Chains A and B, each alone.
Chain A
Amino acid sequence: MTIWDKLLITTVLAAVAASFFIVGAALGGTGPGESIIVKVDGVVAKRLPLGEPTTLTIKGRSGSCRIQVANGAVSMVSSDCPNGLCVAAGSTNEAGKAIVCLPHRIVVEVIGTASSSNGVDAVVR
């Protein structure tokens, strides 16, 4: 490994730290959502209101995720995916936010009022 390799690795590590903050700020929610849409490989598999507590198992491409709706928020409570980033994402009730399991290709989107499906439309109030 050369000094330039180490410089490159340090630069990427700095980008990792920066991206944590930038991504967090850029993807901020737009207030409490009303329902969730579960998509598998981009195709809608389930629509649920956030108001009714429930748990369901969604089968994805290479396994399944257990999705829980409780206290007006949604979370992935368990998953047999190898990285567990979806479970680590915790719970959210913010419209425009999403919990993603890339290995299983499952996306849980929180939807606000009719027009605010991705957070951009909801900026106009």
Chain B
Amino acid sequence: MSIDALAAASPAKKMSTAALLLAAGIMIQGIEAVYLPPMMIPGAKLGLANSITMLAIILFGWREVLTHVALRATSVSLITGTFLSTTYIYSLTGALLSAIAMLVVYRYLYGPLSYVGVSVFGALVHNLTQLTLSIFILGHIGIVSLLPWLLVFALLTGTGNGSLVNIVGPRLGDLGLFGRLDHI
């Protein structure tokens, strides 16, 4: 299968796969950032790019995953002109912390939990990060009143993205991606 194939793959193949995932992540988050209005908070939205992060978690180790989300958040902020603004702080912090949560949950709880569980944990950590940052940046504890909504949004996006990865994840090898790269 794909995961074993990638473990034994050449550096060039790993690099190109990582680049492909990064491009997909930037494209998806970029489209969300430009064409979809901010759903809950800046940087939150549908979080479809999170399903790409999960593919990275399946295929790579924690170093590559954290590099993936940091480069994605930075690239999208450069495209949308929000680099080093508060939007970038929301986006980068949320992406990194949710990726760490998903790495840990995937490592220790995947099996009992499917990708839905992994993704829900990631979305929860992401939204709680946004809430905490909002309280500090906007400067009012009353923002906590949005907590129930943030939990609901995390459930919806987490379940959605996780279901998607439940379908796509096990079929990564069927895409012919790794086989084709073999012959380059």
Contact residues of A with B, CB < 8 Å? 1-2, 4-5, 8-9, 12-13, 15-16, 19-20, 23-24, 26-27, 39, 41-42, 61-63, 81-83, 85, 89, 96-100, 102-103, 105, 107, 109, 118
Q: Mark B30-56, 1 if CB is under 8 A from A, else 0.
A: 000000111111100000000000000
The answer to whether B62 has its CB under 8 Å from any CB of chain A is no
Q: Do A103 and B151 touch across chains, with their CB atoms under 8 A apart?
A: no
Residues of chain B with a CB closer than 8 A to A16's CB: 148, 151-152, 155
Known contacts A1-B114, A4-B112, A16-B148: does B138 contact A105 (CB below 8 Å)? yes
Compute how far the CA of A107 lies from the CA of B41 in the bound complex, rounded to whole angstroms. Answer: 13
* Shortest distance between the CB of A2 and any CB in chain B (Å): 5
Contact residues of B with A, CB < 8 Å? 36-42, 86-87, 109, 112-114, 116-117, 120-121, 124, 130, 134, 137-149, 151-152, 154-155, 159, 162-163, 166
Known contacts A85-B149, A100-B142: does B38 contact A12 (CB below 8 Å)? no
Q: Which residue of chain A has its CB nearest to the CB of B152?
A: A16
Residues of chain B with a CB closer than 8 A to A82's CB: 36-39
> How many CB-defined contacts (below 8 Å) exist between A and B?
120
Q: Which residue of chain A has its CB nearest to the CB of B141?
A: A118
Compute how far the CA of A23 lies from the CA of B135 in the bound complex, rounded to whole angstroms. Answer: 14
Q: Do A5 and B117 touch across chains, with their CB atoms under 8 A apart?
A: yes
Rank and list the top 5 A-B pairs by shortest CB-CB distance, nearest first: A98-B142, A4-B112, A103-B38, A82-B37, A42-B139
Residues of chain B with a CB closer than 8 A to A62's CB: 37-38, 42
